[in-house]
């Protein structure tokens, strides 16, 4: 995905309280309107809420109920693996509640539009979710002083030559909530907007169903890094060849997830790889399903169309790497030599597949290669098993290990789903032992 760091405005972020719903009226918010291109000043007078009783109700209840959108990385989101709500805005909300001496209770929506609607319906006391205190919102709500500045950028597909600036958005389709600050930026430049979060936007851009997306720079950067981070947290990546995807893809996905390994590299060594990726993704939508043994850019397109979240290649092909980068999809090429590593560094890569691991010198060579190339994290694949998994994962250079020992042809063809789950659970136990030990 080509990231356009063109910033038409720096939006001020504020806490928003509902006064209209409490009888405060439209004149209660006395914060001066902010120009979108001018940061809010710290001496701005905060909105006054005296007389409406909202603060006393919060104190009497002993809790502050907060509305937010829950899939906005890195601001408000659920941490993978734990489900714990985290992010910058979550920290702000908890601090506000702590200073009031009450508990913070979150009510989370899966998109932006219901957030302010919930405030209007008095389902919560406050919204803390990157709210831009524009004049219309200040007329209706009480807004705090702005506590942050939020630069926005434009994202388009890497092969899109029509959109080179925000001025080119006229008549284009942007995947942004129409009522959000980002959606309003897009509309101001003449774009049509359709509701969708960052993940949906990226998928639609990759498949040519949308033209652009406007979002916070930090959120886009976090999205780009999220796949590698999540794979590292899981620690093991099953490498799968599916000969009968229609029959085996869904139960295999469920077996892996049941074993605590919600990730898979589906290799293009089998003719039905794209179908397998699609079926596994449909069966377990939260699972990270990627494509392996990718040898051509056509296979990259097939994989992305099927829903692949990452690409793995057996060797380092700069054309495939740059093509994946233009599509905004993480790519992990096979690298085993100093020349490979040097080229990977020039291409801006951070995570490499070391393949075939055991046959190429194993952990000893991985450690030796890390001396001149300390910038890389390594995902060894080839010859990994339960016997040596702990040894590999114990190295700080290794972020995760790929292997087929838990998804062998015998296990899949004979539908031994419980055994696959058990092997995944054993692998997860080793990951936890190493990471927590």
- List % helix, strand, coil for the chain (3-state, nearest 5): 40, 20, 40
- What CA–CA distance (Å, rounded) separates 261 from 424? 6
SS3 238: strand
Q: At what angle do helices 297-306 and 273-283 cross, to 10 degrees?
A: 30
Q: What's the DSSP call for residue 50?
A: T
Encoded tokens for 357: 């691991």
Do the bridges between strand 141-143 and strand 331-333 make them parallel or antiparallel, or are there none, so unpaired? unpaired
Q: What angle do CA 422, 403, 386 make, to 5 degrees?
A: 50
C-alpha–C-alpha distance, residues 393 and 222, integer Å: 25
Tokens of residue 124, six digits: 């919560």
The yes-or-no answer on residue 105 being catalytic is no
DSSP state of 75: T
Burial 199-225 (b: 16+ CB within 10 A, else e): ebbbbbbbeeebbbbbbbebbbebbbe
Rounded CA separation 332/350 (Å): 9
- Measure the CA–CA gap between 117 and 115, rounded to whole angstroms: 5
The label of the residue with tokens 């959108």 reads: 69
Give me the residues paired with residue 194 across strands.
175
Nearest CA among 86, 389, 88, 354 for reference residue 234: 389
- 349 and 228 Cβ atoms separated by less than 8 Å: no
Cα–Cα dist 404/92, whole Å: 44
Catalytic residue among 4, 172, 327, 353: 353
Diameter of the chain measured on Cα atoms = 75
Instruction: From the candidates 89, 140, 265, 309, give the one annotated as an active-site residue.
Output: 265
User: Cα separation of 352 and 381, whole Å?
Assistant: 10
Please identify every residue annotated as catalytic. Answer: 265, 353
């Amino acid at each position: 995905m080509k990231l356009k760091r063109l910033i038409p405005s720096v939006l001020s972020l504020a806490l928003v309280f509902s006064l209209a719903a409490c009888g405060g009226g439209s004149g209660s918010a006395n914060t001066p309107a902010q120009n979108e291109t001018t940061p809010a000043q710290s001496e701005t007078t905060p909105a006054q809420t005296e007389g409406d009783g909202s603060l006393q109700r919060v104190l009497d209840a002993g809790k502050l109920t907060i509305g937010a959108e829950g899939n906005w990385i890195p601001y408000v989101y659920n941490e993978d693996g734990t489900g714990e709500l985290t992010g910058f805005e979550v920290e702000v909300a908890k601090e506000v509640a702590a200073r009031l001496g009450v508990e913070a209770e979150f009510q989370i929506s899966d998109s932006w539009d219901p957030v302010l609607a919930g405030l209007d319906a008095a389902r919560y006391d406050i919204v803390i979710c990157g709210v831009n205190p524009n004049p219309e919102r200040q007329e209706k709500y009480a807004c705090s002083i702005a506590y942050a500045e939020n630069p926005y950028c434009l994202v388009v597909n890497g092969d899109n030559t029509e959109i080179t600036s925000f001025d080119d958005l006229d008549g284009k389709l942007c995947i942004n909530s129409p009522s959000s600050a980002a959606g309003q930026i897009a509309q101001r430049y003449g774009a049509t907007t359709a509701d969708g979060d960052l993940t949906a936007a990226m998928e639609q851009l990759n498949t040519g169903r949308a033209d652009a997306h406007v979002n916070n720079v930090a959120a886009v950067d976090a999205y780009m890094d999220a796949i590698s981070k999540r794979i590292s947290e899981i620690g093991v990546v099953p490498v799968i060849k599916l000969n009968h995807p229609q029959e085996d893809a869904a139960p295999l996905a469920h077996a892996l997830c049941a074993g605590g390994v919600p990730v898979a590299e589906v290799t293009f060594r089998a003719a039905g790889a794209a179908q397998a990726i699609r079926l596994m993704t449909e069966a377990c939508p939260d699972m990270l399903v990627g494509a392996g043994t990718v040898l051509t850019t056509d296979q990259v397109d097939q994989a992305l169309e099927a829903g692949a979240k990452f690409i793995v290649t057996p060797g380092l092909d700069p054309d495939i790497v740059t093509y994946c980068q233009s599509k905004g999809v993480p790519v992990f090429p096979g690298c085993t030599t100093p020349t490979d590593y040097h080229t990977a560094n020039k291409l801006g890569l951070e995570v490499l597949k070391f393949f075939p691991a055991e046959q190429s010198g194993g952990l000893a060579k991985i450690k030796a290669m890390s001396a001149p190339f300390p910038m890389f994290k390594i995902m060894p694949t080839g010859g990994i098993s339960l016997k040596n998994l702990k040894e590999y994962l114990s190295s700080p250079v290794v972020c995760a290990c790929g292997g087929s020992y838990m998804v062998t042809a015998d296990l899949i063809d004979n539908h031994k789903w419980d055994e696959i789950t058990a092997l995944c659970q054993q692998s997860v136990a080793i990951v936890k032992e190493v990471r927590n030990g």
